Structure 1
Amino acid sequence: MVDSVSEQVMQLEQRVERLIRLCDQLRDENRVLLRAQESLNAERAALLDKNETARARIEAMISRLKALENNG
């Protein structure tokens, strides 16, 4: 009976250790994913800004072309 209880305690300790390692691993992965998400969000914001700048430049060119067309 003592061996059985001792064995159960050892098994429980092993399971707890595995859970701790898994939690550590998941915490590390979560940190990596959060950094990647921050980077992608920054990249997205930069691309949206570039897109808006390009759109404004194209609209300005179209307006100038229309003005040239109307003056010509």
Structure 2
Amino acid sequence: MKQTGIVDRFEGDDVIVEIDGKMVNFPRADAPAMLGEGMVVIIRDGRIAEIDQIETQRLEDDMRRRFERILGKQSDE
């Protein structure tokens, strides 16, 4: 079964991922090398299988636009 989650943080040898509002621990050693906080990941067979690059970029763009609105700046897009 495929699920998606967002990397919340790293704690020692674990990656903490938020999935459906719950925090789930995964071994850091089994995770993709370029994994970072805030990235959207795909979970398969109980492990972090890959980074969802498209969804991660969408989330980053959305957050950037929100911050620009808060700061009163206009987006060029």
| TM-score relative to the length of structure 1 | 0.30
Give the structure with the higher percent helix.
1
| TM-score relative to the length of structure 2 | 0.28
